[in-house]
Amino acid sequence: MAVPDPRQARTPLFDAMVELAQSRKVSFHTPGHKSGKGISTRFRKFVGPKIFSIDLTTLDEVDSLQKPVGVIKEAQELAALAYGADASFFLLNGTTGGNHAMVVSSTRPGEKVLVARNCHKSIIVGVILAGARPIFVPVEYDTERRLALNVRADDIEKALRAEPDARTLLVTSPNYYGYTVDLGAVARLRERREFTLLVDEAHGPHLKFHADLPLDALTAGADICVQSTHKIIGGMTQASILHARAGRVDLSRVAASLKSLQTTSPSYILMASLDLARMQMATEGQKLLTRVIELAEEARAKINRIPGLVCRTREEARSEGLGDIDVTKLTISVIGTGRTGYQVSQELNRRFDIQVEMADPAHVLVIVSIGDRKDDLSRLVSALDEIAREAQAEARPKAALVSAAPPRIDNPLAILPRDAFFAPSRFVPLEEAVGKVSADIVTVYPPGIPVLIPGETIAREVAEYVRAMARHGSIMDGLDETNTRIKIVA
Ligand SMILES: Cc1ncc(COP(=O)(O)O)c(C=O)c1O
């Protein structure tokens, strides 16, 4: 086991916050609740008084995120050291805010950017803010298991060859289901052709700290990556980090973009959680993650013995040429039970008090993390076993599954996303939208990947897929309130 760097035991921001809270200075500044003295009694009774004493604002003792010169600077430098970055930046609006800044700071208006088509909505918003021209790289689908996998290095190479003037590549790795892009192979493409590699690593803040997890983006050669510390490790909700390497990326542009896009009143509680989560991973991540991997692998093996359920192993994924998977995600195919992922997820919740991360028509997705215990996973496995056995015994007709994977999205870009976003627009029924230009991002949740972006001509298969998913009860973003009309460029 590698010996942790002793510097990583430090938590400069959290320590300064505790010291300031304990000094009990009289406050005539924000936040208005004044260390909790003015907070609602119900709130204080439930969470206790201490949390309010560290809900601070920018003060000399605790530094400023907009212009860090003290403990925030030190905390960000420790994060950079732990992750192997030249600079790391604390994010208060999740990876969403980091993705906006990553795109804005790395592209120019009108410039071509290669974007993996499974990107999160926040990447598209970044493209709109930047005024860039996205060229999409197709995503590999597992049609049998109805699962969107990720983009292949070969397809990225093809896209680079087809677009000789594109200088930036944006990928998501791992994706929500834990499937990675072969980032090592992608980075090696730069031996023949220079480009900036930007990685949405929302689901990978833990990868750096265990050799049995897929290669993390920075180690593979990414220039910027953004991680949701709050999703997978010990950050509090909304707390993420952007890591950057100097060279292809101008670090001062990254800092300036973040300064423009982030709040001027960052939550110190969220920032402290980033300081502590980094310390925890850097000092004991390997031990904690060894346990997480053991728990997840044990559960995976048991789930694979339950009739009707399949949870792909790392070996299978590799042998099928799919690249790597993060084994701490359990993507459980439930097609064999005859139930949809939504039904299984609801049963787990209503009958067994178990809540999963998400469900789609064919899967439930379970995140196993440093907060889980053996008992929690045993409960999950026995509940799944009961549900699957009941489904088999009922022998009722198989649930009509709608395809989980959207059709191969091929909506040609008629105008720049930014121009479409700001153009006059109107709503039309979905069946009348084919051939028209979308004015909004249309996303089907889960997994929240845009099926249409502003400026794209709406293909028939995509309009039909959106209608089917809306009828099926998926959460739709980008349609009107009746889920039957779509915004087009007027
Ligand atoms: C791949 C990906 N990128 C970005 C985001 C946005 O991250 P955050 O919720 O931290 O803003 C998500 C959220 O689910 C995501 O799955």
Please write the tens of the pLDDT for every residue from 230-264: 999 999 999 999 999 999 999 999 999 999 999 99
- Torsional sign, CA 54, 57, 63, 67: positive
> Given this model, what pLDDT does residue 387 score?
98
Say yes or no to pLDDT of 400 above 70. Answer: no
Contact 405, 143 (CB under 8 A): yes
Q: What is d(CA 342, CA 331) in angstroms, rounded to the nearest whole number?
A: 13
Name the 3-class secondary structure at 81.
helix
* Polymer length of the chain: 490
Contact 397, 316 (CB under 8 A): no
Instruction: For ligand 1, say whether the CB of 443 is within 6 Å of any of its atoms.
Output: no
> Given this model, what pLDDT does residue 142 score?
84
> Given this model, what pLDDT does residue 473 score?
73
Note the CATH architecture for domain 417-489: Alpha-Beta Complex (3.90)
pTM score: 0.96
Say yes or no to pLDDT of 401 above 60. Answer: no
**pLDDT tens, residue by residue, 104-147:** 999 999 999 999 999 999 999 999 999 999 999 999 888 888 88
Instruction: For ligand 1, say whether the CB of 121 is within 6 Å of any of its atoms.
Output: no
Note the CATH architecture for domain 286-394: Alpha-Beta Complex (3.90)
Name the 3-class secondary structure at 6.
helix
Ligand 1 atom with least separation from CA of 98: 11
User: Ligand 1: distance of its center to the CA of 357 in Å?
Assistant: 13
Contact 226, 91 (CB under 8 A): yes
Q: What is d(CA 162, CA 137) in angstroms, rounded to the nearest whole number?
A: 11
Parallel/antiparallel/unpaired status of strands 196-200 and 168-172: parallel
Q: Torsion angle of alpha carbons 209, 211, 212, 217, nearest 10°?
A: 70
Say yes or no to pLDDT of 404 above 50. Answer: no
Chain-centre distance for alpha carbon 387: 29
Q: What is d(CA 133, CA 107) in angstroms, rounded to the nearest whole number?
A: 10
Q: What is d(CA 156, CA 166) in angstroms, rounded to the nearest whole number?
A: 12
Contact 159, 168 (CB under 8 A): no
Q: Where are the domains of the chain?
A: 286-394, 417-489
User: Ligand 1: distance of its center to the CA of 120 in Å?
Assistant: 7
- Torsional sign, CA 32, 262, 439, 174: negative
Name the 3-class secondary structure at 142.
strand
Instruction: For ligand 1, say whether the CB of 96 is within 6 Å of any of its atoms.
Output: yes
> Given this model, what pLDDT does residue 475 score?
82
Q: What is d(CA 39, CA 44) in angstroms, rounded to the nearest whole number?
A: 7
